[in-house]
Structure formats: structure tokens, C-alpha cells
Amino acid sequence: MKNRALYYLKTVLWITFIQIIFFLLALTLIVGVEKTIYILNYRLFDLILYTLPYSLIVAITRFKKN
């Protein structure tokens, strides 16, 4: 059970990381580098909180399939 919980946690963190990278790439392409840095200075924690629920849903469905 401990091994599955570790896999579950790794999946959540990995999906969250990938989502943040793609969001930052899209944001940089749309608004430019300067505004992206400005947004990150004030909203990075919110960005992580907004991506976590989706990551949890994906990880739970993967966990249930195994």
C-alpha cells in the first residue's frame, strides 16, 4: 500500500509540473516575457493551487485502474 501511495503522489506532482510548464509556455507566447514575469511574481502560488485539482483527478483515475 505504501508503494501505491508513493506512486500516487509522484503522479500528482508530475502532472502538476507538466501543467505549469505548458501554462507558462502559453502565457509567454501570448503576453510576452515581461508580463509573464510580472504575473509569476504575484500569482505563482495561485497557479499551483489551480492545477492541483486536475492533477488529483487524473492520478485517482490512474490509481483506480491499477
**pLDDT tens by residue, 21-55:** 888 888 889 888 888 888 777 777 777 777 777 77
Structure confidence at residue 19 (pLDDT):
84
Contact by Cβ (8 Å): 19, 54: yes
Q: What pLDDT band is residue 1 in, cutting at 50, 70 and 90?
A: low
Report the C-alpha gap between 50 and 43 in whole angstroms: 11
In eight-state DSSP terms, residue 66 is -
The model carries a pTM of 0.55
Tell me the three cell numbers of residue 17. 509540473
Rounded CA-CA distance 24/31 in Å is 10
